[in-house]
């Protein structure tokens, strides 16, 4: 990376800890951060030593959303060409993260505003600190939640909650975010990393091919009719059987029925 690093990465025990790293700017996403995130995702996606990606934030913020100066004002000064370029860069890595090869967990440690809901939604699971604060502040500075954010809240939340956040710009804390299911769970900040590690370790025990096909299926079937979904899921399982060179499905049945070494209702087979 030629630019100053504004994303931090640490890989340990098959967990990639990726963090927004502009704490002095509350991890607002500027064009450099958007470019670096894409490079980091490229680098991590097919590494054998990475099984789960966690997206966190350095300092007291997860992300204060798009950088109002560098992402909006400075790119707008370059005209439409600059605007579209920086939109491609941010939407590009959000999309890449949504369909990432490995399961992903948003670990929300602090502020999460506006455009931050893009990567929040892109992560498969989300765990936050009770102390985290979430808000759609767009309305407070005179715009609608764009860049997919309105779609994110409508997909994730009941209409009243989506409308409340959108129109009032009021903050909700981690416990409230968990209560409306914006995140899976909320824990005290001091437990956030430990709990995220536990969840990541749970995922690391599962068949990685099944994880990728299953997470894509959850995102895809929502807009399908029942018959389309049924057909899609049959085809996807057949494709998964082709991609899983360990023949995990048969091995899972064998360890249960023949070896009696585990019970699928109570945990995973031995990979
Ligand atoms: N864009 C650009 N700069 C930002 C952003 C942002 N989104 N958020 C924080 N910063 C900068 C501040 O300008 C300040 O810079 P400076 O030190 O050069 O003056 C620095 O980060 C620290 O910010 P403070 O406001 O001093 O930090 P504080 O802890 O008091 O407040 C808070 C944190 C609440 C996050 C506040 O910074 C804030 O309201 N930020 C904007 C949040 C927002 O509305 N984001 C946009 C959402 S809409 C969208 O993403 C499309």
Four-CA torsion 229, 231, 234, 239, nearest 10 degrees:
-100
- Average pLDDT of 62-76? 98
Q: Which residues 6+ apart lie within 8 Å of 5 measured at CB?
A: 21, 36
pLDDT of 266: 96
pLDDT digits (tens, 9 = 90+) for 7-56: 999 999 999 999 999 999 999 999 999 999 999 999 999 999 999 999 99
pTM of the entire predicted model: 0.97
Which residue lies with its CA nearest to atom 41 of ligand 1? 64
Q: How far apart are CA 188 and CA 195, in angstroms?
A: 10
pLDDT digits (tens, 9 = 90+) for 154-168: 999 999 999 999 999
pLDDT of 3: 80
pLDDT of 218: 98
pLDDT of 2: 61
Which residue lies with its CA nearest to atom 42 of ligand 1? 64
Which residue lies with its CA nearest to atom 40 of ligand 1? 64
CA of 158 to the centre of ligand 1 (A): 28
């Amino acid at each position: 990376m030629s630019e100053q690093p504004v994303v931090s990465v640490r890989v340990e025990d098959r967990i990639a800890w990726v963090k927004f790293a502009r704490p002095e700017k509350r991890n607002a996403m500027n064009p450099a951060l958007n470019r670096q995130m894409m490079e980091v995702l490229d680098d991590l996606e097919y590494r054998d030593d990475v099984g789960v990606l966690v997206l966190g934030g350095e300092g007291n913020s997860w992300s204060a959303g798009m950088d109002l100066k560098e992402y909006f004002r400075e790119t707008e000064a370059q005209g439409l060409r600059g605007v579209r370029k920086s939109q491609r860069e941010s939407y590009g890595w959000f999309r890449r993260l949504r369909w990432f090869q490995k399961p992903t967990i948003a670990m929300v440690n602090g502020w999460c505003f506006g455009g931050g809901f893009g990567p929040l939604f892109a992560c498969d699971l989300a765990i936050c600190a009770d102390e985290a604060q979430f808000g759609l502040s767009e309305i407070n500075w005179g715009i609608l939640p764009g860049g997919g954010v309105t779609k994110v809240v409508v997909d994730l939340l009941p209409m009243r909650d989506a409308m409340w956040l959108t129109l009032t710009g009021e903050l909700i804390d981690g416990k409230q975010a968990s209560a409306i299911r914006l995140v899976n769970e909320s824990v005290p900040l001091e437990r956030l990393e430990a709990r995220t590690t536990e969840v990541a370790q749970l995922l690391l025990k599962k068949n990685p091919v099944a994880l990728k096909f299953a997470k894509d299926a959850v995102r895809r079937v929502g807009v399908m009719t029942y018959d389309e979904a049924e057909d899609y899921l049959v085809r996807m399982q057949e494709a998964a059987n082709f991609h899983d060179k360990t023949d995990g499905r048969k091995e899972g049945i064998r360890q249960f029925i023949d070896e009696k070494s585990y019970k699928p209702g109570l945990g995973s087979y031995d990979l």
